Amino acid sequence: MSTASSPSGFDESFPKEDLVLPEDLREELAKPIGRFVSAWALRKHLEGATRVITVGDVVTVTLLQMGMVPDVAVFDYKTQRSEEYSSKARIAKMEGRLVKVENPPAMITREMWRAVKEAVQADDVVKVEVSGEEDLAALVAIINAPEGAQVIYGIPNKGLTVVSVDKDTRALASAAVRRMVR
């Protein structure tokens, strides 16, 4: 299948193998693709979004505490690698279809790619529970979400990052994924 019709440049079967984050890309991904936003300004940045997608427990709980339910929430019930019981209770109460996937740290498995891609393109509310680590799901969401979607993820000890999905942010995320080891 040609990739010309795909906004990300990836065909429907991508990835054919699980992807591993190389060491030289870690530091680069610690910088935001979008812009840092304070929690109090988050609502303003989400107005008019075609879909609101959260990646991470803290980000998801922050939205829920504000009375906002994301269209897609990707989480692993951990915050900085430690199990977070208060997040678990809050996210478990969130309405939405639950999809469970396995994804080891510093990887994007084919399973997670498919689950996140389907979730961001769905018409219903979807919760993607990751056994392992969900951090790199933000790249998958940015690549596959519709134009105008907002992807929110956290950078530890720095804050919330909001990415407006468009051809430029999709290109940045796609370039990072292409650099991952197959």
Domain assignment of residue 136, given as a range? 19-178
CA distance 28 to 43: 27
Q: Flag whether 154 is in a domain.
A: yes
When the pLDDT of each residue in the chain is averaged and rounded to a whole number, the result is 89
- Average pLDDT for 160-170: 96
Q: Flag whether 14 is in a domain.
A: no
118-147 tens-digit pLDDT = 999 999 999 999 999 999 999 999 999 999
Q: What is the pLDDT of residue 1?
A: 34
Number of domains in the chain: 1
Q: What count of Cα atoms within 13 Å lies in the side-chain half-sphere of residue 111?
A: 14
Q: Flag whether 13 is in a domain.
A: no
Quick one: residue 65, left, alpha or beta (phi over 0 = left, psi -120 to 50 = alpha)? alpha
Asked whether the beta carbons of 26 and 151 are under 8 A apart, the reply is no
Q: Flag whether 147 is in a domain.
A: yes
CA distance 107 to 19: 5
- Average pLDDT for 15-21: 91
Q: Flag whether 68 is in a domain.
A: yes
Q: Flag whether 162 is in a domain.
A: yes
Asked whether the beta carbons of 128 and 5 are under 8 A apart, the reply is no
Q: Flag whether 88 is in a domain.
A: yes
Tokens (6 digits) for 101: 């996937």
Tell me 63's DSSP state. Answer: H
Q: DSSP 3-state helix, strand, coil percentages of the chain (rounded to 5)?
A: 35, 25, 40
Q: How confident is the model at residue 99 (pLDDT cuts 50, 70, 90)?
A: very high
Model-wide pTM > 0.85: yes
Sign of dihedral through CA atoms 133, 111, 177, 51? negative
Asked whether the beta carbons of 150 and 164 are under 8 A apart, the reply is yes
